Amino acid sequence: MLAAARLGFARLGVAALGLAAVGLAGPAHADFRLCNNTAGRVGVAVGYKDGDGWATEGWWNLPARTCETLLRGTLVARYYYIYAVDYDRGGEWSGQAYMCTRDKEFTIRGTEDCLARGYDRTGFFEVDTGEQQTWTVQLTDSNEQTSQRPAGSTPGSPTPFMTVPPAPGRPSAPPQFPGTSR
């Protein structure tokens, strides 16, 4: 739900776009990717529902202006959930889909009773992939043009954009997560 994603912070925005594998030369790659198009380092967690139920995974630590594949292979769900934090400047991309996380690298099964199970309860924003096989989410500063094509996309290729404007608010200090990368 886009309304849930509007709980991000004033200087941060999210642009998500689906990249269809149609028309690409060579073998098709089906992945869920995230690009950090901001000037700061970000930590990212992802949530999804697969054949075994709900799962959350984190942390991927992305330097400024880089992309990373979070989940490899054909997407198993239509909806994915993202939570990200800007390590350098503070702020986060969040929403109202609550899932379990922790401060260190994790894979957590289930979204119920996070606190009772010793985890944090964190608000993720929803990404509707429209049942595409491949999807890329782009985290941007809200003052940047979100209509620009991402690195590696081809002009004229089918790239629908979903822009989620940020909402007011900002924590006094961002949570600090370990510098390990998944």
Render pLDDT for 33-66 as a digit per residue (tens, 0 to 9).
999 999 999 999 999 999 899 999 999 999 999 9
Taking the model in full, what pTM does it have?
0.69
pLDDT of residue 144: 53
- Reported as a single tens digit per residue, the pLDDT across 22-42 is 333 344 567 999 999 999 999
Lowest mean pLDDT among 25-29, 70-74, 79-83: 25-29
Q: How far is CA 81 from CA 5, 95, 96, 133, in A?
A: 10, 9, 10, 16
- Reported as a single tens digit per residue, the pLDDT across 10-25 is 334 444 444 333 333 3
pLDDT of residue 24: 34
Assign residue 73 a region (left: φ > 0; alpha: ψ between -120 and 50; beta: otherwise). left
Q: Averaged over 104-123, what is the pLDDT?
A: 97
The terminus-to-terminus CA distance of the chain in angstroms comes to 27
Average pLDDT, the chain: 73
- Where is pLDDT greater, at 180 or 117? 117
